[in-house]
Amino acid sequence: MTKLSVNINKIATLRNARGGNRPNLIQSALDCERFGAQGITVHPRPDERHIRYQDVLDLKAVVTTEFNIEGNPTPGFLELVKKVKPEQVTLVPDAPDAITSNAGWDTIQHQNYLREVISDLKSTGTRVSIFVDPVIEMVEGAAQTGTDRIELYTEAYASHFHQDREQAIAPYARAAERAVKLGLGINAGHDLDLDNLKYLNQNIPGLLEVSIGHALICDALYFGLENTIQLYLRQLV
């Protein structure tokens, strides 16, 4: 069964809105795990708009499922990841001022850089995943970097899903098929929700994990966090 890693960035957004500690991020992560989440994902951005570096240190002490830290491998990010040693790190080529993640790596242009960073991170025992678009050449480039997994950037799938789901999924299915042949593990994430998740899971061979945050936390405002996590898990059976 494809694992669900809940991205708790937006719980931190709400907490930061008033400068206090409500909702309590640590308790929220523990509750997500208790409700069935098989991983916790955070994306500490340089401006700490939601997840703070201290949150990552605090979460490491309590998360008992898989801890996945996402981010651009800046020196500060790499120092944090090496200190925390999460089960997985997902490298994302976001600019510091990006409103959200908006592209995968150019694994050909940045292949030597990625190879060096990935080797350094893997030497600490952390599994490495890199964020890529569903483009065969980018998947093939990723395989040359030494990464354990790729995370397929699913924004384009989500934005086209309602118009034509078969057309929307096609590049992802092709990219996943190539990735499996190259020995890469496959994760997926960004803009996944209760409408599009089941079809994605049914059509991506070898999908190991989805990380979902924005839509899931929004849904939890209406359905409650426990019920929402259960709803998402039922899309993955």
Ligand X SMILES: CC(=O)[C@@H](O)[C@H](O)COP(=O)(O)O
Q: Smallest distance, Å, CB 31 to ligand X?
A: 19
- Over the window 207 to 226, marking each residue x when it contacts ligand X by CB under 6 A and - when it does not, the resulting string is ----x-xx------------
Among 105, 39, 113, 49, smallest CA distance to 78 is for: 113
Among 71, 86, 93, 213, binds ligand LD2JLWAY (CB under 6 A): 213
Q: Does 44 bind ligand X (CB under 6 A)?
A: no
Q: Is 110 marked as binding a ligand?
A: no
Q: What are phi and psi of 5, to 5 degrees?
A: -105, 120
Give the residue nearest to ligand LD2JLWAY (CB).
189
CB of 212 to ligand X, least distance (A): 9
Residue 192 site contact among ligand LD2JLWAY, ligand X, none (CB < 5 to 8 Å, cut-off depends on kind): ligand LD2JLWAY
Cβ proximity to ligand X, 152 vs 166, nearer residue: 152
What is the 3 state secondary structure string of 110-156? CHHHHHHHHHHHHCCCCEEEEEECCCHHHHHHHHCCCCCEEEEECHH
Tell whether residue 214 is a contact of ligand LD2JLWAY (CB under 6 A). Answer: yes
Which one, 12 or 114, has the nearer CB to ligand LD2JLWAY? 12
Residues of span 135-154 touching ligand LD2JLWAY by CB under 6 A: 151
Site for ligand LD2JLWAY in 69-88 (CB under 6 A): 70
Among 8, 80, 91, 92, binds ligand X (CB under 6 A): 92
Q: Is 147 in the site for ligand X (CB under 6 A)?
A: no
Binding segment for ligand LD2JLWAY (CB under 6 A), chosen from 44-52, 59-67, 175-183, 213-221, is 213-221
Q: How far apart are CA 100 and CA 49, in angstroms?
A: 11
Residue 126 binding partner per list ligand LD2JLWAY, ligand X, none, with a CB distance cut-off of 5 to 8 Å that depends on partner kind: none
The residues annotated with a catalytic role in the active site are: 43, 70, 190
